[in-house]
Structure 1
Amino acid sequence: MQILFYLFMLLGKWIDPEPVPDRPNVLFIAVDDLRPDLGCYGNLRVLSPNIDALAAEGILFEHAYCQQATCAPSRTSLLTGLHPDETGVTNHVTHFRTLHPDITTLPQLFTTAGYATCGVGKIFHFAEGYQDPVSWSEPAQFETTSKVKTYIQPGNQTKGKGVSYEITEAPDTAYTDGKIAAEVIEKLHIYQKEGKSFFLAAGFLKPHLPYTMPRKYWDRYRTSDFSLEEKDRLRPQGAPDVAFHHWQELRGYTDVPNQGPVRTMLLDSLRRAYYACITFVDAQIGKILDELKASGLDKNTIVVLWGDHGYHLGEQDLWHKHANFELDTHVPLIFKVPGMSAKRISNVVELLDIYPTLSELASLEPANPVSGISLVGQMKNSTDQHSRFAFSQYFRPYGAISGKVKPTHMGYTVRSGEFRYTGWFRINADEPEFEELYDLTNEAFERKNVSNEKAFESIHLDLKKRVINYKNMRYELAYAD
């Protein structure tokens, strides 16, 4: 199929969809490394007015989870509707087309249905580029690392490495995320003029490291506001060492030491920069949503906004993602669907549910089986309290992300309504070598491993069984009530 795509490209024969009336458009907004630290999720110190406004008019899922807390596996899972062990993508070097050349991705489903489809920015994530060309009806924009300018200030990047954050007097459009917003708005103009049904994906790069933004967003915060309490910096009591990493992603920047302690002032500044980047991206999203409304396209456009995984900002002795904790796996997920009432849904859901949900909303049938479930029933019926579990996974050692070393362990984790259980299995082992169980009833993230406590034995055994079934791809048993 990829060969056919390149033939189309060489001959200039991109698919030119014909206008089809009364089909919903889709505006598909991905935000890299965005944890649900937004005003609409209860963090009032974060300035996210445009996403908050979208949530106020839409359907917000309070407990949505990714399937692996790193870019390529999470995005592949979402865009195929399959678990990481089904796609075979658990690192940043495996392309799902290598293992599944004929699979139909979510945007590809809309392409084959006659939609105009385009990805602007980071949608897929692969070493050679962010896009999967056969998924789209027209060329992607800003899709490769070689075309993305990370820094504006001269000297901030040398020999392939750069500083962890940058603040400049540059306008929004000097940075790639500003360019992405402008390109998406231009696409909206074109689609409206031509009367085409569209699936338009906007993939923003921030708040991924390095945290780079115009100064006006940095100035809206104070560094002193972002110090962590000592109890929040501690690892969960009784957690096994295998559950952690050494901040390798953060240590890849020139102003962060390769090992050992990192200055408290720098860490506080990095937290401030992370939130400033959220506000920067929120402003770009606002520009797109304003244009959608001004054009009248909002009346027939489904909007979905999601983050590809969660994020640590020093909590639990961790930075960035690459683990199985609540902060790594919990993500924002917001739909706005014409004709549907605004609501908040507390049920546990997964990112791979987006594929069947959008398929149903557009009256399309997936071309291949998907493992997610449609959320449309919950979105229409506020009394539908569908019991659900969310599964994620991550491997050790950390270096396996690049394929340079083989993983020795895979940690599989399940989130129920009140608990998180994680089992760390040696590769090909049937029983976990290390176990974690956390009561999250009254906690934002894990504090104490209670897997050995008698009072939690029945919960422990039930969730362990579900994880083993999930690991062995017995999904019906893993999810069964």
Structure 2
Amino acid sequence: MKKYLLPGFGVLLLICSFAVPEKKEKKPNVLFIFVDDLRPDLACYGNKEIYSPNIDQLAKEGALFTNQYVTVPTCGASRYSLLTGQLPRRTEHLSNSAFEKLMKPGVKTSTAETFVDQFRRNGYRTVGLGKISHSADGYVYGYTEPKSDRLEMPQSWDEMLFDSGHWKTGWNAFFAYADGASRMTKDKQVKPYEKGKVGDQGYPDGLTAQLAVDKLQELAKSDQPFFLGVGFFKPHLPFNAPQKYWDLYDEDSISLTPSPNLPAHVHPASLHESGEFNQYALGEEKASLDKPVSDAYARKVKHGYYACVSYTDALVGKVLGQLKTLGLDDNTVVVLWGDHGWHLGDDRVWGKHTIFERSLRSALIIKAPEGLSGIQRDEIVSAIDIYPTLMELCKLEKPQHLDGKSMNLLLKQKAAPQWDNRAFSYFKNGITLRDKDYRYTKYFRNQMPNIELYDHRSDPFENTNIAASNPKVIAQMEKKWRVGDTGIFKNKENK
């Protein structure tokens, strides 16, 4: 009997004989927004005095971390630790010049220099705008020097861009006043705040936001996944913002710190004399540990900080709005992170550079395509946890040398997973550990007391050091603290 093929069957067999290529899943993009000196003073964190609708909306769409701590309370060192995913182990790791000293041009290592470099090595297009590392524009040069051509993160970027406007250099833009002057060009003869009679692009951050909007439009045209870092200066000093953001607030109604005095049973060496703040020579009052500034001046300065937060919030909204307009938001991991906190008169300090709660706790919001929306995470997390989290979210290999742990489960399940609640921070010859209930700090110095303990269940503002009366708790915390003793102060004697 003859066998016949049905019409078209041979063609079907021919088609089926070739493997149909599997569609490659596009990796998620990453938009990482770095905000300088942003403590968690936002409405979504419970501060109802602050006007921050755009960041609040991001929190509704993602995960709000209420207890995220940086490892070092100064800009460059904090960002170095974040970007490398490592705890400080050398004194250079505590310096604003960490990138300059430790990331050399032309030296390509077997492991990525930062998580940005790790993205680049895995096929991402990496673009930085503004302050990502320490320098205002990502290049190594002094405050009053011409811009150099040496990148602080030489292996990380496909593009590092900045619009310095009429301020001409990144550092002048960082300390900008609306008329084109800066703290340096005015030889510090300026106030620490300004109500600028300008629009959003009258200060450098407005130019950075516009750069981000334009760059997103370009990136949207490519099939290549991208990492876009956007670094805003405000609310870093000087507290300069367009007038309309000052007008959002009634200065007389701004609340004052619940910690106007020095903490009890603490040596002043644990604090500082607000040197950065006092550089602004035309400020109406000088800050000092001897006594608080007047209530009126405290409200004036705090008003400036709040105005800068609201200005930054508006610019964040502009960037996120463009992300949605271009249809990129469904496949983009968005991270908003503050590089450390800031004492707004708390403990008589105006500035960062302490290892107290006010200086170490900062804002962190993560929105992931596969993550839950509108969740609040109260676990203790560290900035070094962000690197492994990004790797897991983007399905990339995580380098073995990282000190942090992925927060992926905190983004994807409502029930609290088993979690090691602790974060270590380092500064002023001290190492501090924050866990769920306590902050335990040990200083390698001669001034006593050199041990501090704060019970956050009853003293959330760290007003009283209770170390002397709690030897059992000290012994328990000391065991946990030893895990974070990286030997950074090994040449210091803890007397």
Could you say whether these structures have the same fold, taking a TM-score greater than 0.5 normalized by the shorter chain as the test?
yes
Question: Does the 8 A contact of 2:113 with 2:155 survive in 1?
Answer: no
Q: Does 1:290 align with 2:318?
A: no
| C-alpha separation in 2, matches of 1:112 and 1:153 | 42
Change (3 A) 1:186 1:154: closer
Q: 1:133 to 1:472 in 2, by over 3 A?
A: closer
Pair 367,339 (structure 1): closer, same or farther in 2 beyond 3 Å: closer
Look up the match of 2:238.
210
The total of aligned residue pairs comes to: 436
Aligned amino acid, residue 445 of structure 1: F
1:255 aligns with 2:259: no
Is the contact made by 1:423 and 1:432 (CA closer than 8 Å) also made in structure 2? Answer: no
1:367–1:247 distance in 2 versus 1, CA, 3 Å: same
Q: Partners in 2 of 1:81 and 1:155 — Cα distance?
A: 37
> 1:155 and 1:88 mapped to 2: Cα distance?
32
Pick the structure with greater CA Rg: 2
- Greater fraction helix: 1
More deviation in 80-89 or 278-287?
Answer: 80-89
Superposed displacement of residue 154, structure 1: 6.7
One of 343, 346, 359 as aligned partner of 1:312? 343
Equivalent runs, 1:8-407 vs 2, <5 Å: 22-85=26-89, 88-95=92-99, 98=102, 102=109, 103-126=112-135, 128=141, 131-142=152-163, 144-146=170-172, 148=174, 150-153=176-179, 157=183, 158-161=185-188, 162-228=190-256, 232-256=259-283, 262-342=293-373, 343-367=375-399, 369-383=401-415, 384-395=417-428
- Label 1:379 to 1:75 Cα distance change in 2 as closer, same or farther (>3 A): same
Following TM superposition, by how much is the alpha carbon of 1:118 offset from its aligned partner in structure 2, in angstroms? 0.7
Q: Match of 1:317, as an amino acid?
A: R
Q: Which runs of 5+ in 2 are unaligned?
A: 1-23, 143-150, 165-169, 489-495
Gaps of 5+ in 1: 1-19, 396-409, 475-481
TM-score by length of 2: 0.83
Q: CA RMSD in A?
A: 2.5
Identity level (%): 37
Is 338-347 or 126-135 further displaced after alignment? 126-135
Alignment partner, residue 399 of structure 1 = none
Deviation sequence 1:216-241 (CA, Å, 0-9, x none): 00000021122526x52011111122
Partner of 2:444 in structure 1?
425
What is the DSSP-based 3-state SS (H/G/I as helix, E as strand, rest coil) of the residue aligned with 1:85? coil
Residues 457/306 of structure 1: CA separation in 2 closer, same or farther (3 Å cut): same
The Cα shift of 1:128 comes to: 2.4
Q: Which of 467, 470, 492 is 1:451 aligned to?
A: 467
TM-score, structure 1 length as denominator?
0.85
The residue identity in structure 2 corresponding to 1:393 is Y
How far, CA to CA, are the matches of 1:287 and 1:376 in structure 2? 27
Q: Deviations over 1:334-383 (max 9, x none)?
A: 11011321211111000011101001111111345111111102222222
- Offset of residue 281 of structure 1: 0.2
Measured in 1, the distance between the counterparts of 2:468 and 2:195 equals: 48
Give the AA of the match of 1:360.
Answer: E
